[in-house]
């Protein structure tokens, strides 16, 4: 009895699956493949393309011509447009005695680069107007950022996405260092200045007695 019930249920499920498959629809593209005569032709189909008669350049040839046109456009700009920039030229004005900060940035033409946001500040410590006590404290706080051979303090920053933000950050950081150096509550007088980060390489001179003697040119009579 149970086997008859199970067989009846299986037959009903099979019938339902058959009905579902019969009612299912196919995509329009599949119908078109089954009936190629009734498919709507597209103007860009491969069958509708004209036969190549080797009367035109290949894809690589067109790319080469595109590069040539780009180079020629820059050459025309260099010949006709760049000389016009001399009309907007301004005379060089050297920095004044109060302009002691020097900023360095990098710019890559034609492509974005993560180094473009970096800014480097250089300043001569002697131009900051500090006495010996304040100067010593500033150098101790600066650490390896001070170069005793050139007397310059170097600060760099790339923590912000724009170069102007990094430039403003370095300017404010230098102001804080100078303000801290002028604070006489702790002068750091008991801390010596560490200059081990600057390793001067000793240049050895080649001994003259090791030099190869020059060959004497004798002229035959």
Over residues 65-72, the mean pLDDT reads 96
Comparing C-alpha atoms, which of 163, 150, 153 is closest to residue 118? 163
Residue given tokens 């604070």 in the structure block:
183
122: containing domain: 102-181
Q: Is the residue at 208 inside a domain?
A: no
Lowest-confidence range among 18-22, 77-81, 104-108? 18-22
Contact present, 117 and 161 (Cβ < 8 Å) = yes
**Residue 165's CATH number:** 3.30.160.20
The answer to which of 18-22, 46-50, 52-56 has the lowest mean pLDDT is 18-22
For residue 89, tell me if it sits in a domain: no
Q: What is the structure's pLDDT at 7?
A: 53
pLDDT at 44 over 80: no
Q: Is residue 179 a contact partner of residue 186, using CB atoms and an 8 Å limit? A: no
pLDDT at 35: 55
Whole-number pLDDT of residue 20: 44
Confidence of residue 30 (pLDDT cuts 50, 70, 90): low
In a domain, 94, yes or no: no
Mean pLDDT of 80-91: 90
User: Given this model, what pLDDT does residue 49 score?
Assistant: 78
- The pLDDT tens digits of the residues spanning 119-137 come to 999 999 999 999 999 999 9
The confidence score (pLDDT) of residue 120 equals: 98
What was the pLDDT predicted at 173?
96
In a domain, 175, yes or no: yes
pLDDT at 86 (0 to 100): 87
* Burial profile 131-170: b = 16 or more Cβ within 10 angstroms, e = fewer: eeebbbbbbbebeeebbeeeebbbbebeeeeebeebbebb
What pLDDT shows up at residue 185?
92
CA distance readout (Å), 6 to 11, 18, 86, 165: 9, 18, 97, 78
Q: Is residue 111 part of a domain?
A: yes
88 assigned to some structural domain: no
pLDDT value of position 47: 80
Q: Using a pLDDT cut of 70, give the percent of the chain over it.
A: 79
Q: Give the least confident one: 16-25, 88-97, 186-195.
A: 16-25
Mean pLDDT score across all residues of the chain: 83
Number of domains in the chain: 1
Tell whether 138 is covered by a domain. Answer: yes
In this predicted structure, what is the pLDDT of residue 4?
45
How confident is the model over 11-18, as a mean pLDDT? 49
Q: What is the percent of the chain with per-residue pLDDT over 90, rounded to a whole number?
A: 50
Residue 83 domain flag: no
């Amino acid at each position: 009895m149970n086997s008859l019930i199970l067989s009846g249920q299986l037959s009903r499920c099979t019938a339902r699956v058959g009905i579902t498959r019969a009612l299912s629809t196919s995509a329009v593209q599949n119908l078109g493949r089954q009936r190629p005569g009734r498919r709507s032709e597209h103007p860009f189909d491969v069958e509708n393309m004209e036969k190549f008669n080797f009367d035109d350049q290949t894809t690589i040839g067109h790319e080469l011509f595109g590069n040539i046109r780009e180079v020629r456009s820059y050459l025309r700009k260099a010949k006709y447009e760049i000389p016009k920039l001399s009309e907007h030229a301004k005379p060089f004005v050297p920095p004044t005695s109060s302009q002691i900060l020097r900023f360095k940035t990098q710019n890559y033409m034609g492509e974005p680069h993560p180094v473009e946001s970096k800014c480097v500040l250089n300043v001569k410590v002697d131009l900051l107007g500090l006495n010996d006590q304040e100067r010593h404290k500033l150098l101790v706080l600066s650490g390896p950022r001070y170069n005793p051979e050139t007397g310059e303090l170097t600060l760099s920053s790339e923590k912000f996405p724009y170069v102007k933000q990094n430039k403003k950050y370095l300017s404010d950081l230098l102001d804080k260092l100078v303000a801290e150096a002028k604070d006489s509550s702790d002068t750091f007088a008991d801390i010596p200045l560490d200059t081990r980060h600057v390793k001067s390489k000793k240049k050895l001179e080649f001994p003259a007695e090791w030099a190869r003697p020059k060959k004497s040119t004798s002229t035959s009579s």
